Amino acid sequence: MDAEIIAVGSEMLTRERVDTNSLYLTGELNNLGVEVVTKCVIGDDRDRLADAVRRALSRTGIVLLSGGLGPTEDDVTREAVAQALDRKLVFHPEIADALEQRFLLMKRKMAEVNKRQAFVIQGADLLPNDRGTAPGQWVEESGGVVVLLPGPPHELKAMFERQCLPRLTRIVPKQAIRTIFFRVTGMPESDLDQLIAPVYKKYENPVTTILAANGDLQIHLRARCATEAEADALLAEVAGPIELLLGDRLYSRNGSPLEVVVGDLLRKNHATVSVAESCTGGMLGERFTSAPGSSDYFVGGFITYSNKMKMELLGVSPEMLEEFGAVSKETAEAMALGARRRTNSTYALSVTGVAGPDAGTKAAPLGAVYVGIADAAGTYVAHRQFIGDRQRIRVFTTQMALDLLRRRITGRVHVDSPKPIVG
Amino acid sequence: MDAEIIAVGSEMLTRERVDTNSLYLTGELNNLGVEVVTKCVIGDDRDRLADAVRRALSRTGIVLLSGGLGPTEDDVTREAVAQALDRKLVFHPEIADALEQRFLLMKRKMAEVNKRQAFVIQGADLLPNDRGTAPGQWVEESGGVVVLLPGPPHELKAMFERQCLPRLTRIVPKQAIRTIFFRVTGMPESDLDQLIAPVYKKYENPVTTILAANGDLQIHLRARCATEAEADALLAEVAGPIELLLGDRLYSRNGSPLEVVVGDLLRKNHATVSVAESCTGGMLGERFTSAPGSSDYFVGGFITYSNKMKMELLGVSPEMLEEFGAVSKETAEAMALGARRRTNSTYALSVTGVAGPDAGTKAAPLGAVYVGIADAAGTYVAHRQFIGDRQRIRVFTTQMALDLLRRRITGRVHVDSPKPIVG
């Protein structure tokens, strides 16, 4: 069974406001096994709203509306739904009386305009609102249902929970829903899709969704079955082969972000890490420390944005900078060694690259990035050529650095020729 | 002229995700005098999307779509719009070649599936995407236009600005729209509104909007008139008194973010800055270096997340840490002095605080933050007590630090008792 959600109100069509009621409603519907297939925001325009309700009901069994139930001329939801269903609006004097009582309780006189809230769509169930003045309405129509809910989130939530959930449970077929949330890094979205599509394409259930952002890939699997056991079995059937295909590119099975996964690995190994950042300017440290409790393993580091700082704070030699340049394998290695030497951390990560907007040089063009790692056994430097703007290159670089550390801790990166740690 | 915005992607119909592209697009359209009358989110369903496009185009002159232009089977926007307009999709080998080149640049082989991105709706203008693989499309149809934009916000913004704005300006009826974009920091949104509402409430034109995010307040004034001169005169009438009321809390008159304003001040004064960060873990450096060209004034710094690092990298004395604690006026001052001494920068900023999730101590509870500044004349330490989660406290702290430096450079902060700079 599918649902559509319509938020009503011109204020949600401005550049500042988003409709958040639909997130709550989506969560509650998904828990019942109902998918939301379309969400809309419609301004305070009766005809347009009536049209949207009519179209939604022609496609889906459940149409939830939020907002537009207030007392003013701008509040058009009642009229629009009545128009869409071709039903009359009926005045209920007992609602008007209750509203008047409510105003008396607040020692205020009710404005005449509030009587608009006493109009109910013919044949609708009234949904009492104990947190505000606007009652909701539940209107069944040719096997489907249109629900009118108030806009203020605390009114909407209370009404949905108390009045709608019990009614929906009666009309929605019973299902169990189970999910898996993988995270992957180090490959483009298209490669990931090509790799795992042969597995997930065979299944309509579970539904598989791939999301890409900032060099990070998320794979959501969601199974709907009659029982939890069946859903878990279906998930396992699809997730197993996907895990095998992904191998060590799969870094999280529960949706944890990379900095948390790496932090947990460090903590488990009683290890610490320090950073030496050039082009990322602190972003790598910021990501490490965004995880609560990161002081267990993150000791600190150096932001060496200039060559002078690379020399003075990390001990990179002027000759090396002269010979190889600041953006080079050699400098990355020297930075990692310097950070480790000065902080005595188990691991040190270094980052140097060309984030732009300057075009860089032939040897180190825009987007060229070196990430170094040093530990007791030696060093390793990874090189990548990114494209995109400054922000993108920097974010991808932190992702690359975190992943290099993850692979080193789990024994998948072998360091080169052990170097003596010298002062 | 009206517009509708359609965001495409099943992931935006989950309980976690909202479409934010429409907020940016709404702002840009409003600037042209175009109102957004409906917004929708549609899942990855070709028929449903085609239907939505058809309906939108029947009601409004401008239909903007975001997302669904990727290379996978889930990306249905091209097909859906072609279906809605009853046009063919044409394969453009030169797009496929350009994609292949892009992959070569990254030293990767292009997956076959990417060729889906080389299909263009018959009669459409191609909109180049220099930040990603998916080109956009501009399709005119019976006096209206359907625009296909990529989903990732940085790709969408660049494409809209460079490719769509010039084209829209040609088809939208001309109005003179002039805007002023003030930025303010160091006060709560409600105080700002209370302060300036008596001025702006008197005017329906210009429209005044206040936005608050991350300790930063934006004031947008937008005047629409027949001529630019009229609009400018109206703006000046409202902006003048607002500027007077804001005083030195107003840091930008053109919308530049605080890190850019501070960077420009440093550059103008031939000054440099370094940082010593504890609770922000690199975020302050990251903000400084997010501005292109920041190497002109940002030399680098220290992430001293542990007491040990505060002592070893910055020379904070163990006795002081013992006596006053890591989160204290004294430690903030010592950190700033240490960073300046070791980098020889004109200014050094230090940050120490309790970002949580630990509750902190009685002397330094959760949200307590000290920001220090050191320069040739002496030191100053500011203290604030923030509320909120870890991320909020950290972001507010960087805002506070940048603003302290701004006020110091512009002579509004007086440093205490000059300290000798000793090794």
Pick B303's closest partner by Cβ from A55, A210, A275.
Answer: A275
B-chain residues near A306 (CB < 8 A): 295, 299-300
Res B423: pLDDT:
39
List of chain A residues whose C-beta atoms are within 8 Å of the C-beta of residue B160: none
| Domain(s) of CATH 3.90.950.20: residues in chain B | 258-409
Helix (H) / strand (E) containing A275: strand A273-277
Residue A408, pLDDT above cutoff 50 = yes
User: How far is the C-alpha of B154 from the C-alpha of B168, rounded, in Å?
Assistant: 20
**Nearest chain B CA: its distance from A110 CA (Å):** 27
Distance from CA of A93 to the nearest CA of B (A): 35
Return the pLDDT at B419. 54
Residue pLDDT, tens place only, A124-136? 999 998 777 789 9
- Name the least confident of A140-144, B262-266, B375-379: A140-144
Enumerate the CATH 3.40.980.10 domain ranges in chain B, comma separated: 2-171
Residues contacting A261, CB < 8 A, separation 6+: A183, A251, A252, A406
Look at residue A147 in the predicted model and tell me its pLDDT: 98
Contacts of B41 in chain A (CB under 8 A): 38-40
- As given in the structure block, the two tokens for residue A224 are 């709907």
CATH of A176-252, one of 1.10.10.10, 3.30.70.2860, 2.60.120.10, 3.40.50.300: 3.30.70.2860
What is the reported pLDDT for B4? 97
pLDDT number for residue B421: 46
Token pair 């932001």 is found at: A303
Query: Chain A closest CA to B295's CA: distance in Å?
Result: 7
Average pLDDT over residues A310-314: 97
- How far apart CA B36 and CA B62 sit, in angstroms, is 9
Q: What is the largest CA-CA distance in chain A?
A: 90
ipTM of the complex: 0.78
Q: Is the pLDDT of residue B295 over 50?
A: yes
State the helix-helix crossing angle for B329-343 and B307-314, rounded to 10 degrees. 40
pLDDT in tens, B116-161: 899 999 999 999 988 888 899 999 998 899 999 999 998 999 999 9
Chain B: residue whose CA lies nearest to A296:
B306
Q: Are the beta carbons of A281 and B285 separated by less than 8 Å? A: yes
pLDDT at site B418? 54
User: Across the interface, which of B284, B287, B313 has its CB nearest the CB of A300?
Assistant: B313
Mutation target among A157, A179, A286 for the B interface, most CBs of B within 10 A? A286
Q: Phi, psi (5° rounding) for residue A180?
A: -130, 145
Q: Answer yes or no: is pLDDT of B317 > 80.
A: yes
For position A130, what pLDDT does the model report?
79
Average pLDDT of span A112-120 = 88
What pLDDT does residue A423 have? Answer: 39
SS3 category, A257: coil
Total Cβ atoms within 10 A of residue B214: 14
Interface size, chain A vs chain B, as Cβ–Cβ contacts under 8 Å: 247
To the nearest whole angstrom, how far is the Cα of B132 from the nearest Cα of chain A?
Answer: 7
Please name the fold of domain B2-171: Molybdenum Cofactor Biosythetic Enzyme; Chain A (3.40.980)
CATH 3.30.70.2860 spans which residues of chain B? 176-252
CATH superfamily to which A258-409 belongs: CinA-like (3.90.950.20)
Q: Are the C-beta atoms of B408 and B375 separated by less than 8 Å?
A: yes
Q: Flag whether pLDDT at A377 surpasses 70.
A: yes
Instruction: Please report, in angstroms and rounded to a whole number, the separation of the first and last CA atoms in chain B.
Output: 67
Q: What mean pLDDT is predicted for residues A293-310? A: 96
Section A321-333 average pLDDT = 96
3-state secondary structure of A145: strand
